[in-house]
């Protein structure tokens, strides 16, 4: 019997102990819900839900061969594999992975707990797909034993793209684009208004707000609002600008084709 | 606003020409007021391309004026607070027949004789400048000095800088009458009040004929509509200005370069393409005399698109997101009308720039400023006098 099981105490004692000989499932299924794919997935009968489909699954580590089918097929992602045969203070954890970015063996990733909080970094040892049309990949990462039972997933894209950057300050309102099509920030519109332009079409010409793809469908009212505030006039007095043909984008090839 | 205003110089019109005149006058320390019926860049200057094209100018005074003007742009780009998106990108004129090639060759020779750098290119030479051209294209001429600018930014930038140097800009102010006594301009009557001034510059674009009538002078400027298609924004795909030989034909009334197609000739269709700094392609354009109508028409939009596909087939899959039309202040010979009026002192014309107002704005501003303040100009502008038409 292993003296200290990090984290969940006795809950997964049998899995924890069996894992010294190789991969074994850890079933973290707590809700009593009508669900039993794990039972159907398991070729050895190691996981049993039984006739009451709402019962929590019962697990027998001695029968488990570590194939990982349950990991891939559990819709709640409630099963992972634990493998402690290295006995060096590190364990191998296999979690399901269904994000768009395909991870790469050998890369460092962030491992996260059930709430998505980062636990530590870990190296991807192996990636496999069980096939059968299921998109789920099984990703095996090497992590310190101390966190092994907490690992529920890997965060690949953030590592890859953004590193561990934290958002500490939101951009100011003035930097937000008033017009997304032409990417014109609110502050630019206000700068232009300070030069004294008076009409909505002039403001459009000078700022380019309303001259992009949407032709002002999204931004005209915001622009009118800004002009109204700057000039102390009412929206109705300001009026609106004319959408210029074509009202919707049209391919040049079509416009220049025989549709005259 | 005071009941009666006054200014040393009143500039009528807040287009690129009025703004340039006000800029150069303010730089010399003159007291300037721009009066604009609508808003800055509301006329042709806000509805055009940004070609600073030299090889499309007529050899002689026209070309010399344009070359002088082109030289002023880099300093302007430095001096103005607004980014005018000036780029010396070079320009191409494409021929779609051997006859057009012959004409372009002859023109290139004439332009070179006046000191402009122009190269005649074969189709295979074109490959280095353009990703792909239509099968009909037989070659072209290339001018490395041709450049590009954002005409709206240029107009607003000139006006803003003039304002910083002390000029007053009055928008929503229409000139209704000009009072002349003892053969001298005295007062400008506007919808927002009267302005005492002994010097008035008419830079009213297509409104110039109306302004001329106020002092009983016929200023022969007619509105000529030009329509443009705007595509979605893309990564840089067109690094230079491109025009078709027919564009030059309809622009400069060169018979040998006119469109062969009857419908195209009626629309005054001529191919132009440029990519703006924002990434949109501007595809042009037409030349139509339809009065003051500045709407776009489905026929012209179709014709411009068809023509564009002829020259640059790869634009086929781009989305057209917009169209617009502008009214060129067109003079009988397409050249600007600059200078004074006989019998009315203090009245100056800076109008009729037709399809070249953006290109010629800096030199026009400079020359008119010299004329207003010193009574003479450093370049000979007599070829552009109103009296050449008589
Ligand atoms: C489709 C198209 C493409 C073009 N492409 C190019 C190009 O690539 N390169 C180039 O160099 N040129 C080009 N041009 C030509 C260029 O746009 C014009 O020559 C230039 O804008 C003329 O400037 P402007 O200041 O004289 O006139 P405008 O910009 O029209 O300004 C005149 C101003 O005077 C005001 N006004 C008129 N009457 C009165 C009054 N009574 N009281 C007060 N204000 C008044 C008007 O409201 C207007 O704002 C193009 C033109 C068009 C239409
Ligand atoms: S790992 Fe394989 S053998 Fe073990 S419980 Fe899951 S499905 Fe059954
Ligand atoms: S498939 Fe997953 S969620 Fe469903 S009972 Fe089995 S372990 Fe629980």
* Concatenated DSSP letters of B300-353: HHHHHHHHHHHH-GGGGGSEEEEEEEEEEEE-TTSS-EEEEETTEEEEEEEE-B
Look up residue B315 and give its two tokens: 């634009």
For ligand 1, say whether the CB of B44 is within 6 Å of any of its atoms.
yes
Look up residue A114 and give its two tokens: 């059930």
For ligand 1, say whether the CB of B21 is within 6 Å of any of its atoms.
no
CA atoms within 13 A on the CB side of B130: 31
Contact of B160 with B136, CB cutoff 8 Å? no
Other CB atoms within a 10 A radius of the CB of residue B19 amount to 32
**Span of A182-191, B38-47, B379-388 with lowest mean pLDDT:** A182-191
Look up residue B380 and give its two tokens: 């000979």
- List the single residue in B296, B306, B319 with the smallest CB-CB distance to A245: B296
Nearest partner of A7 among A61, A64, A76, A80, judged by Cα: A80
Other CB atoms within a 10 A radius of the CB of residue A175 amount to 11
Average pLDDT over residues A62-70: 93
Q: Do B321 and A215 touch (CB under 8 A)?
A: yes
For ligand 3, say whether the CB of A27 is within 6 Å of any of its atoms.
yes
At A233, which helix (H) or strand (E)?
A: none
Distances (CA, A) of B381 to B146, B288, B332: 23, 28, 17
Strand duo B32-35 + B9-12: pairing: parallel
The confidence score (pLDDT) of residue A2 equals 45
Distances (CA, A) of B102 to B121, B141, B257: 12, 11, 10
What ipTM does this complex have? Answer: 0.79
The more confident residue out of A68 and A165 is A68
For ligand 1, say whether the CB of B139 is within 6 Å of any of its atoms.
no
Map residue A92 onto helix, strand or coil.
strand
Contact of B176 with B191, CB cutoff 8 Å? yes
Count of H-run helices and E-run strands, chain A: 10, 12
d(CA A47, CA A45): 5
Which numbered atom of ligand 3 lies nearest the CA of A41? 1
- The answer, yes or no, to whether residue A260 has pLDDT greater than 50, is no
The more confident residue out of A34 and B214 is B214
Q: Could you give the angle at which helices B357-374 and B16-27 cross, rounded to 10 degrees?
A: 40
DSSP B15: S
Q: Which residues, 6+ apart, have CB-to-CB distance to B366 below 8 Å?
A: B20, B24, B72
The confidence score (pLDDT) of residue A259 equals 46
The more confident residue out of A56 and B272 is B272
Average pLDDT over residues B207-219: 97
For a substitution probing ligand 2, which of A19, A22, A41, A60 has the most ligand atoms within 8 Å of its CB?
A41
pLDDT level of residue B237 (50, 70, 90 thresholds):
very high
- List the single residue in A199, A249, A256 with the smallest CB-CB distance to B302: A256
The confidence score (pLDDT) of residue A8 equals 62
Question: What percent of chain B has a predicted confidence (pLDDT) above 70?
Answer: 99
Is the Cα dihedral B256, B259, B263, B265 positive or negative? Answer: negative
**Residues A229-245: pLDDT tens digits?**
999 988 888 888 877 88
For ligand 1, say whether the CB of B212 is within 6 Å of any of its atoms.
no
Atom 8 of ligand 3, nearest CA residue: A29
**Span of A77-81, A180-184, B371-375 with lowest mean pLDDT:** A180-184
The more confident residue out of A32 and B82 is B82
Contact of A52 with A79, CB cutoff 8 Å? no
The confidence score (pLDDT) of residue A134 equals 65
Distances (CA, A) of A6 to A15, A89, A145, A147: 13, 12, 8, 7
Residues of B in contact with A252 (CB under 8 A): 229, 231, 283, 305, 308-309, 315-320
For a substitution probing ligand 2, which of A18, A40, A47, A49 has the most ligand atoms within 8 Å of its CB?
A47
Average pLDDT value over all residues in chain B: 95
Q: Which residues, 6+ apart, have CB-to-CB distance to B165 below 8 Å?
A: B23, B26, B27
Q: Do B156 and A206 touch (CB under 8 A)?
A: yes
């Amino acid at each position: 019997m292993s003296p200290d099981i990090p984290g969940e105490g006795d809950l997964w004692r049998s899995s924890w102990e069996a894992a010294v000989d190789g991969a074994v499932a850890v079933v973290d299924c707590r809700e009593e819900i009508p669900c039993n794919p794990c039972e159907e997935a398991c070729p050895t009968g190691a996981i049993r839900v039984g006739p009451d489909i709402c019962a929590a699954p019962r697990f027998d580590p001695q029968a488990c061969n570590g194939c990982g089918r349950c990991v891939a097929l559990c819709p709640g992602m409630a099963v992972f594999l634990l493998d402690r045969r290295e006995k060096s203070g590190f364990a191998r954890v296999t979690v399901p992975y269904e994000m768009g970015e395909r991870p790469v063996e050998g890369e460092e990733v962030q491992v996260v707990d059930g709430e998505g909080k980062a636990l530590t970094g870990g190296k991807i040892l192996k990636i496999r797909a069980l096939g059968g049309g299921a998109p789920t990949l099984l990703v095996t990462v090497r992590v310190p034993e101390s966190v092994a039972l907490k690992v529920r997933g890997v965060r690949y894209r953030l590592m890859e793209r953004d590193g561990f950057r934290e958002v500490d300050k939101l951009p100011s309102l003035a930097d937000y684009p008033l017009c997304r099509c032409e990417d014109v920030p609110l502050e630019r519109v206000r700068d232009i208004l300070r030069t004294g332009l008076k009409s909505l079409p002039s403001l459009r010409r000078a700022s380019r707000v309303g001259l992009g793809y949407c032709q002002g469908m999204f931004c005209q009212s915001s622009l009118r609002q800004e002009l109204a505030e700057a000039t102390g006039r009412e929206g109705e007095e300001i009026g609106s600008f004319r959408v210029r043909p074509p009202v919707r984008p049209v391919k040049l090839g079509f416009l220049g084709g025989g549709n005259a | 606003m005071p009941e009666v205003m006054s200014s040393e110089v009143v500039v009528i019109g807040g287009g690129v020409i009025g703004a340039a005149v006000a800029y150069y006058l303010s730089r010399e320390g003159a007291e300037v007021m721009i009066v604009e019926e609508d808003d800055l860049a509301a006329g042709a200057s806000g509805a055009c391309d940004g070609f600073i094209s030299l090889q499309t100018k007529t050899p002689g005074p026209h070309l010399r004026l344009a070359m002088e003007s082109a030289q002023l742009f880099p300093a302007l780009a430095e001096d103005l607070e607004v980014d005018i998106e000036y780029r010396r990108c070079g320009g191409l004129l494409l021929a779609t027949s051997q006859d057009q090639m012959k004409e372009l060759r002859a023109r290139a020779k004439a332009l070179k004789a006046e000191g402009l750098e122009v190269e005649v290119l074969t189709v295979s030479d074109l490959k280095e400048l353009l990703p792909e051209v239509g099968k009909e294209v037989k070659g072209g001429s290339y001018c490395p000095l041709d450049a590009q600018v954002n005409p709206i930014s240029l107009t607003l930038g000139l006006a803003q800088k003039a304002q910083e140097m002390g000029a007053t800009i009055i928008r929503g102010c229409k000139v209704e009458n000009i009072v002349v006594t003892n053969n001298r301009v005295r007062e400008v009557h506007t919808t927002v009040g009267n302005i005492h001034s002994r010097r008035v510059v008419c830079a009213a674009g297509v409104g110039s004929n109306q302004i001329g009538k106020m002092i009983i002078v016929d200023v022969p400027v007619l509105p000529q509509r030009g329509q443009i298609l705007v595509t979605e924004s893309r990564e840089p795909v067109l690094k230079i200005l491109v025009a078709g030989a027919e564009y030059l034909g309809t622009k400069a009334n060169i018979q040998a370069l006119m469109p062969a197609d009857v419908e195209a000739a009626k629309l005054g269709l001529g191919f132009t393409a440029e990519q703006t700094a924002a990434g949109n392609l501007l595809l042009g354009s037409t030349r139509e005399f339809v009065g003051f109508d500045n709407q776009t028409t489905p026929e012209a939009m179709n014709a411009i698109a068809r023509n564009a596909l002829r020259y640059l087939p790869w634009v086929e899959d781009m989305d057209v997101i917009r169209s617009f039309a502008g009214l060129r202040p067109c003079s009988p010979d397409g050249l600007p009308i600059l200078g004074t009026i006989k019998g009315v002192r203090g009245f100056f014309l800076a109008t009729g720039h037709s399809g070249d107002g953006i290109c010629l704005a800096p030199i026009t501003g400079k020359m008119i400023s010299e004329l207003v303040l010193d009574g003479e100009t450093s370049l000979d502008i007599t070829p552009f006098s109103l009296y050449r038409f008589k």
